[in-house]
Amino acid sequence: MFEHLNQGAGSIPTLFFAFAIFHALADFALQNTFIARSKIPGADLSDFFGSGRGPRGLWVHSLTAHSLLHGGGVWIVSGSAALGLTEFILHWLIDFIKGRDLISFHLDQILHLSCKLGYAAFIAFAII
């Protein structure tokens, strides 16, 4: 389906653009307020659960579901389940760190898009 994306080094911009589109969809359009908040341990979820914080460990499920969307996007664009799994793990770790206020929103986005650029280069230069 996406064979046209893998056409040598010249495809890096095309691949990156496709990865960036999926990133924008998963990180913005498909990430609702519930997921954005509930993927952070200890977040105030009173809008959703009254005075409580919701089920214990909810953040693990929310962060995992969010990261799976990203991994799936990379898999769809690249055709590589290994790259999809790599994206799932890296996205999970980056958002986990951001959720603890150890990095800024801007650095979070730079790291995510840097991963996408790396995947495009790997594919274009047939490293994988």
The whole-angstrom separation of Cα 83 and Cα 116 is 10
Give tens-digit pLDDT for 20-74.
999 999 999 999 999 999 999 989 899 999 877 689 999 999 999 999 999 999 9
What is residue 44's DSSP assignment?
-
Six-digit token string for 67: 């990261």
Query: pLDDT per residue over 61-118, tens digit each?
Result: 999 999 999 999 999 999 999 999 999 999 999 999 999 999 999 999 999 999 999 9
The position carrying tokens 């769809």 is: 76
**What's the confidence (pLDDT) of residue 3?**
56
Q: How far apart are CA 84 and CA 89, in angstroms?
A: 9
Beta strand ranges found along the chain (DSSP E):
none
Neighbouring residues of 60: CB distance < 8 A, sequence distance ≥ 6: none
**Which of 2 and 31 is assigned the larger pLDDT?**
31
Q: Give the start-to-end residue ranges of the domains of the chain.
A: 3-124
